[in-house]
Amino acid sequence: MNGTNRCNGQVELFHNGQWGTVCDDRWGMQEAAVVCREMNCGNALYVRNKAFFGRGRDQVWLDDVECSGHEKSLVDCRNRGLGEHNCDHSEDAGVVCSASVRLFNGTNHCSGRVEVSQGGQWWKICNSNWGQKESTRLCKELGCGPPKNSNESFHFGDTRLKGYRTTCSRNVSSISDCTFQEITGTCEGVSLSCTDIPPIRLVDGTD
């Protein structure tokens, strides 16, 4: 809720016929990773605490959430129990995900085949419209360093033919905001390897 697209914002879950928020106690990247995967939104990029996206209303459904990062759903993580909490909406938790684009089957989260989520499934990006500008933007969006100038190849073990052509305007800040057009025939997918850098973040600022 209250983000710039469906893959970032305040985390809410629906229970007992009502939407409610999640308290930010113990809220971190492992919990964010579960949310992003459950929402089909790629990788977790940032954690947001202290009602960053605004104060919620009504219920606080989860508190003291602790995930390993591999759970299928946030409610599968350890928590106090639905509706059990000791916080208010000034502590609502949020996440920023990499939205509908990911790198798949590489050696780490900064390498692999570029895929886009469409219709609830992941499909390859065709290399016809993909260039250095798109690679640089996606590497940055995933929290990685700049693209490597290499011909590193990845073995995907996947023979799906369906792919999408990407068209990005100059002013988009995310690959997810580009236009994706389905390619009906075969196409060569894009492989990308970004420089893997230590995770760095700025906290307690205004953005």
- Residue 161, token pair as written in the block: 């033919």
The residue ranges of every structural domain in the chain are: 8-97, 101-193
CATH architecture of 101-193: Roll (3.10)
Other Cβ atoms within 10 Å of 162 Cβ, number: 15
Q: Which CATH superfamily is domain 8-97 in?
A: SRCR-like domain (3.10.250.10)
pLDDT surpassing 50 at residue 10: yes
Q: For residue 85, which amino acid is it?
A: H
Q: Are 139 and 194 in contact (CB under 8 A)?
A: yes
Task: Name the pLDDT band for 61 (thresholds 50, 70, 90).
Answer: very high
Q: Which residue, among 92, 69, 202, 94, has the nearest Cα to 143 in the 3D structure?
A: 202
pTM of the model: 0.56
Averaged pLDDT for residues 113-141: 83
Task: Name the pLDDT band for 152 (thresholds 50, 70, 90).
Answer: very low
44 strand-pairing partners: 97
Using DSSP's 3-state secondary structure scheme, residue 172 falls into coil
Higher pLDDT, 12 or 4: 12
d(CA 199, CA 152): 23
Q: Which residue, among 150, 140, 148, has the nearest Cα to 175 in the 3D structure?
A: 140
Q: Are 66 and 78 in contact (CB under 8 A)?
A: yes
